[in-house]
A and B are shown apart, each in its own frame.
Chain A
Amino acid sequence: AQKITQTQPGMFVQEKEAVTLDCTYDTSDPSYGLFWYKQPSSGEMIFLIYQGSYDQQNATEGRYSLNFQKARKSANLVISASQLGDSAMYFCAMREPGGQNFVFGPGTRLSVLP
């Protein structure tokens, strides 16, 4: 069964606008971590933001914030004030402590338009 779902294969956003990338997950473990990674065209995987399942506050890192809705099993990434350099693939991922691996979603390709 798919553990991480990203329903938007591609997204467009105007420069300086905010954009939300969707992610839903499936787990029965009460303790887990949620992550977003960015992969620019150069190929490297860049860690953006982390949310722990017990964290009370939504995670924020600069222009990135994670809209964590635990009951809905949703962990959407919000990028504020988009920049051209934000154009990349974005992967949502989950880690379960008892799980055997680190599960990635299929990704969303974000294109920022000037």
Chain B
Amino acid sequence: DSGVTQTPKHLITATGQRVTLRCSPRSGDLSVYWYQQSLDQGLQFLIQYYNGEERAKGNILERFSAQQFPDLHSELNLSSLELGDSALYFCASSVGGTTNTGELFFGEGSRLTVL
């Protein structure tokens, strides 16, 4: 158990809909990352938050948005869903900080299927 909790684990929805994925980082971790992994693909970095503020943005679509709340949990919002958005979405956390080179701890992922 990595200590990172993601909900829901599985989600099936229709095109055009909106979903919210939730992530609770490990206790004490300030940094949260979101990754998208399409079928048999690598991990695509979406966005990173550190202590409530956006730190870095990757190839995140405009239809997607995220935030990190004061209690450090994070949500990834996906709207106007398309078939191609079907993927495994990972949240990961770490202590964070500019000098940290430590590992990321991953949640089990949220598997989104868009029909």
Contact = CB atoms under 8 A, between A and B. Distances in A.
A101 interface: yes
Interface residues of B, number: 26
A95 B101 contact: yes
A32 B48 CA distance: 18
Given A33-B103, A97-B99, A102 B92 contact: yes
Interface of B: 33, 35, 42-43, 45, 48, 55-56, 58, 88, 90, 92, 94, 97-106, 108-109, 111
Given A97-B101, A103-B45, 18 more contacts: A33-B102, A33-B103, A37-B106, A43-B109, A44-B108, A45-B106, A45-B109, A47-B103, A47-B104, A50-B103, A95-B101, A95-B103, A97-B98, A98-B98, A100-B56, A101-B45, A105-B42, A106-B42
